[in-house]
Amino acid sequence: MRQTISALCVLSSLVAFTVVARADQPPHAIPAPAVDNPLTAGKAETATLAGGCYWGMQELFEHVKGVKRVVAGFSGAAEAPPDAGGMAGSGSMAGAGGMAGASGMAGANGMAGASGMAGASGMAAANGTAANGTAGSKAAPAEAVQITFDPGQISYGQILHIYFSAAHDPTQRDRQTPDVGAEYRSNIFYADEQQQQIAEAYIAQLTKAHAYASEIVTLVTPLQQFNRVPEAQQDYYLKHPDLPYIVQVDGPRMAAFRTLFTDMYVAKPAKH
C-alpha cells in the first residue's frame, strides 16, 4: 500500500505540473446571474454542487462570506459508491500519457478509485438528460460538496457565480483536469424548484453571452441523496497543505476566487 500511495503522489506531482499553465491563466470573469433570490434574513439553506475533486471545492467554499458549513461527499445516486471513503480527489487522474483513473487507479489512501463508473461515453446535456440517450453521467455518483449558507449574506445565485467563475471549468465533460471520470463531472443538484430555475436561467444566460469558448456541459438535476465521506477526507487541504495536487491544482482556483471576489473572501474557513 505504501508503494501505491508513493507512486500516486509522484503521479500527482507530474500531472498537476502539466496543468499549471492552464491554471495560471487570468481568472475568468463572467456576468452575475440575472435571475436570483434577494438577500433575505432567514433559515439557513443548502446548495449541493459537483465540480471535480471535492478537496478543492470544499477549500474554496469554506472561505466564502456567508457560508456556514461545507461537507465533502458524493451525490447523484441512490446509494454511496463503493469505497466512498477512499476515493480521493486525485485518485482518478489522466496524465499526459493518457492514464485513465476511472478504470480503478488507487486513491490517495491506497483504495481503489471509481471502478465501473461511466466515463466519457455517458455524456449528458446541461438540462440533465443524456446527450446520447443513455443515463450516462447522471446515474453515477459524483464527488460533491454540500454548502450550508446564510441567505441574508449570500444568495444561491451568488454561490453559482463563484462556482462558474473560479471553482471549476463547466465546459469539461465527465472530467475536471487533471481528474477523469463521471465522478468528476460538473453537476448542480437542486433542492427545490427555485434553485432549479436559478441554475437553468444562469446557464442559459452564460450560453447566450458566449461566456466560454466551449459549450457549458453542467448537469442540472434534482438532489436525491448526499453521502458524506469519512472524516479523513474532510478538510483534506488543511490536513495536507503541501500535497502537490493541493498546491498546484487547487491553489490556482483559490487564487482566482480571491482575485475575482475580494469582498466575498474570508480568511477563517467555515467548519464542516
Q: How many Cα atoms are found within 13 Å in the side-chain-facing hemisphere of 31?
A: 16
Whether 53 is a known active-site residue: answer yes
Quickly count: other Cβ atoms within 10 Å of residue 135's Cβ.
Answer: 12
Beta bridge partners of 88: none
Cα–Cα nearest to 29, from 271, 209, 250:
209
Query: SS3 for 251?
Result: helix
DSSP 230: P
Quickly count: other Cβ atoms within 10 Å of residue 18's Cβ.
Answer: 13
Show the cell assigned to 201.
436561467
Catalytic pick among 53, 80, 206, 220: 53
Phi and psi at residue 48, in whole multiples of 5°?
-120, 120
Query: SS3 for 14?
Result: helix
- Beta-strand ranges (E) seen in 52-171 are 67-75, 142-149
> Got the DSSP string for 158-222?
HHHHHIIIII--TT-TTEETTEESGGG-EEEEESSHHHHHHHHHHHHHHHHTT-SSS----EEEE
Q: Which amino acid is at 90?
A: S
Residues annotated as part of the active site: 53
